[in-house]
Chain A
Amino acid sequence: MNNERTSSVTVLAATGITKSFASPDKTIPVLSKVSISIPRGDWVTIIGPSGGGKTTLVKILAGILIPDSGKIIIEAKGEDPRRVVAYMPQNDSLLPWRTSLGNAILASQIEGRSRKEGQSEARELFGRFGLAGFENLYPSELSGGMRQRLALIRTFLSHREVLLLDEPLGSLDPLTRTTMQEWLLLVWQELGKSILLVTHDVDEAIFLSDLIYLFSRRPAHVRRHFNIELPRPRARTAQSLMELKTKILDLIHTETLNG
């Protein structure tokens, strides 16, 4: 397992992103000059209050929404810049009429790659994600944890360099959640992707990330960012992590109080 921070070359960055939504009577500013950057191969996490605009930013990064102003910079290593980013929506968005395997190969099918190839690739990940034997079941026949893992497999199989994971573990119970965090970490280290994770769980963020962005309430801007140099695997109760946790929680707290 390698934990060396390979480089600090940015693979994906957002600078000065502003976005508001028009509702019938007024416009709601959601993002206000947000700038973040994701170094290649790193794990970056966004924490912020719910309703603050995290999903909106992720959708802008995924190319689903257009910002009102600001720029998205994609450092594509020769490939099509529109195929650098993969997006895992906040709910798992599995297609209920497709089997697990069918859901996993969605991206490869859309790109017109051979079905056989896509399937054998998927089967391998099913094994690694503890879903072997569940290939032919429908999502409704899977448990919550399995569905999340399946959605992750689908995201990995899109072969994009940067994975945008919007609260991927949000619907899991705490026990499954910690197991899944370790899983994700392993897979990330093996596959060498860059990850942008959205979560509201401070423990999750400090356990996983190289870099944490703390977002303000709506309209969101970056309040602070924290680099975590600690090698992995990390002890969840390590002194420095606990200090960082206290610091972040305090910051969140002061914002709530000064509201």
Chain B
Amino acid sequence: MTSPLLSVRNLKVDIPSGSGTLHPVRGIDFDLHRGEVLCVVGESGSGKSLTSLSLMGLLGRTLERSADRMEFDGINLLGASGRQMRKLRGARMAMIFQEPMTSLNPVYTIGDQLIEALLLHRRMPRAQARARAVELLEKVGITAAASRLGQYPHQLSGGLRQRVMIAMALMCEPQMIIADEPTTALDVTIQAQILRLLYDLVREMDMAMILITHDLGVVARVADKVAVMYAGELVETGTVAEVFDQPLHPYTRGLLDCIPQPGKTGRGEPLGTIPGIVPSLVGQVDGCVFRTRCTQAGPACLGPIPRRSRDGHLFRCVHTDGYAPAETKAI
């Protein structure tokens, strides 16, 4: 087995506050290999964005990150200086956010922003940078690319802006892209086009991608590997087939039951639900975080939760197969 491009062990984020420390990310472990698409899926507030910002070294100052290991292509990210991280972000790892307007500068043209970044990171002559910018825009499927260079971000549709963001991310041919809900703000038609584009580019350029989403449909269609996040923890990790065809964690099963699935859910039949709310993550978090909403919960769920593996399909649950044994099943 080749060594992973990105290897993360026991990643944590703490946010100190007046009422105690918030623990929104607790003990994340995963490996990302070259050419692989890992989808991190979870509901809002589960810690997906904080996880990705931690990897990129973009957490705010008041947030505390720690890990046992965070290694990217042999580089220890935990020890990297601000300057080293900036260099890495420009050249080898890139990030795409949900709302491109927040990352594109509204007062500069698309051309200004693309060319400037190329001049900065690649130190190429201006004419060459311009040609490369046009090439990149064409690569992400923007027609009449040369004429777009003079346009401002607000003159583009949401889908086009996201394509420009992808072009910027590709500029230095990164080894890894982290895309945080890149299509959540877009229409379904545009979403499919953008996902197709990202997918094809990742394959073509042999990049690795972490795609963060709350949409199980996106995950099923794009992921090689899936990590299901709940309240700051990865509760289940496996290949896309493992997680969708044989979900082991009760939360994953619950989530899949909540969405209407043509052929599986009858029209108008009740959908599955996950009653209750996410617990507070302030102060010490003990036992299984999902137990308050879990159909399989029992007294053991208050104790330490083992990490189980079935041939590499990982999940955190006191029950060996994710189901409470019949005789001890809670009320």
Task: Answer yes or no: do A and B interact.
Answer: no
Write the residues of chain B forming the contact surface with A, with a CB cutoff of 8 angstroms: none
Write the residues of chain A forming the contact surface with B, with a CB cutoff of 8 angstroms: none
